[in-house]
Structure 1
Amino acid sequence: MNVIDPSRPSATEDVWLKAAYDVLTESGVEAVKIMPLAKRLGLTRTSFYWHFKDRDALLEAMIRHWEDTNTGNLVTRCNAYAANIFEAIFNLFDCWLDDALFDSRLDLAIRNWARNDPSLQARLDQADARRKEAMEGIFLRFGFAPAEAEIRALTMIYTQIGYISMQVTESREERFGRMPGYVEVFTGQKPSKTDIERFVARHGIATS
């Protein structure tokens, strides 16, 4: 009689994807292999094939998740309603505060992976172009000239890529404390106290 271990994860697609994500972000794509994943999960290799045709299908699922989550959510936040330029930038900043909206670890892993995968690099380039267009759109909506909108959008992009590639560690309070200054740098204008208070309040941070 087989005894079922209640702590053993269910053999679902999400379980395999989560395990693959953990390995990808910890050790890189070369380490994402079926048998080691099966051993990590305490599952059989056969159960993998109920959900994925092969390793390439698993990798493709992770890439699609990255595209939908990181790029998709970033574009959505850029297009969200905003009464002024400051609220629009703060809407984007939600991505840097919520891993469910934008997963920095996954973004770094994808960028590292793309260095040796031309087809993925092409998709990364497309994603970066979508992000740039969405960020430019914020400035264009609020009357910035196209050339200035591009430069300001690139400044935001390069700043965030720097955060990701340098794996900057900040407390939540430190990051919130710097964000009004970043808004001023990115827009050339100082957000009002009301703009700042509205932003931090929706994230559950008290202001003095």
Structure 2
Amino acid sequence: MSDTDSPPRLQTDQQTWVRAAIQTLADAGLDGVKVETLARQLGVTKGSFYWHFKDRRALLDAMLEHWRDGRIDDIRGRTQAAPGEEIAQLLHVIDTYSLVRNRRGMQVELAVRDWARHDAAARATLDAVDAVRLECTATLFRAAGRSADEAANRSLLLYAYVFGLGMMDSERDTPRPAETRAFIANLITGG
């Protein structure tokens, strides 16, 4: 590089901004998601932000869309089952979500839930994700022969268990004994 060449500028796309903002949301809450702070963290100028977003609200909307799409894709992928395998798939879903300690994912989830307490767009996004999550598991319960009401109730119980457990264990990362997990999973599935 000659004396007249300047160092190459970092290229930052819209998804890089969104991912950085979501990480900041998890660490510092919504108030921590600031354009200037993110630009500094990414090593770019605020001009890069305005190349991709009209304003902070556009970034927030992109964050919600990214989070929503990821969560919906995840649950839809995990709740696919061949006919006759619905209960086995539900048990797998329960095991997956109760064994895996995705501390960062839970921090993001809790931050979005907190955000939804004060923001209509975040509330609508959260409600959409919750509805899909509940419907995906309820569909498996119905396919396994449960009535619509029972399927909805068991789906809610499954959801409350895996998310409640994730929140309880977020700090100590202590797995539950296999017998306890199996007992609870059998209560939820009726197995």
TM-score (norm 1): 0.75
Counterparts of 2:117 and 2:176 in 1: how far apart (Å)?
29
Task: Summarize deviations over 1:34-83 as a string: whole Å, max 9, x none.
Answer: 01111122211111122222211111111111111112321332234364
Task: Report the CA distance shift for 1:81/1:108 in structure 2 as closer, same or farther (over 3 A).
Answer: farther
1:105 equivalent among 104, 107, 115: 107
1:161 aligns with 2:163: yes
Structure 1 residue runs of 4+, over 4 Å off?
none
* Letter aligned with residue 173 of structure 2: E
Q: What's 1:140 paired with?
A: 142
Q: What's 2:127 paired with?
A: 125
Counterparts of 1:91 and 1:82 in 2: how far apart (Å)?
15
Q: Which stretch of the first structure deviates more once superposed, 90-99 or 75-84?
A: 90-99
* Letter aligned with residue 29 of structure 2: G
Q: What's 2:16 paired with?
A: 15
Counterparts of 2:119 and 2:169 in 1: how far apart (Å)?
22
Q: What's 1:184 paired with?
A: 186
Q: What's 1:72 paired with?
A: 73
Q: What's 1:89 paired with?
A: 90
* Letter aligned with residue 70 of structure 2: T
Q: CA deviation at 1:10?
A: 3.9
Computed over aligned residues only, the root mean square deviation of the Cα atoms, in angstroms, reads 2.7
Counterparts of 2:19 and 2:132 in 1: how far apart (Å)?
26
1:4 aligns with 2:7: yes
Q: What's 1:152 paired with?
A: 154
* Letter aligned with residue 147 of structure 1: D
Task: Summarize deviations over 1:65-110 as a string: whole Å, max 9, x none.
Answer: 11111123213322343643432114424456385xx933322111
What is the aligned length?
Answer: 183
Counterparts of 1:17 and 1:141 in 2: how far apart (Å)?
37
Q: What's 2:49 paired with?
A: 48
TM-score (norm 2): 0.80
Which consecutive unaligned segments of at least 5 residues does structure 2 have? Answer: none
Task: Summarize deviations over 1:117-140 as a string: whole Å, max 9, x none.
Answer: 123213322321222111111111
Higher relative contact order (CA 8 A, sep 6+): 2
Counterparts of 1:165 and 1:80 in 2: how far apart (Å)?
27
Q: Identity rate of aligned residues, in percent?
A: 31
Q: Say whether the 8 Å CA contact 2:101–2:173 is kept in structure 1.
A: no
Q: CA deviation at 1:147?
A: 2.1
Task: Summarize deviations over 1:165-190 as a string: whole Å, max 9, x none.
Answer: 4453435xx3583543332121121x
1:59 aligns with 2:60: yes
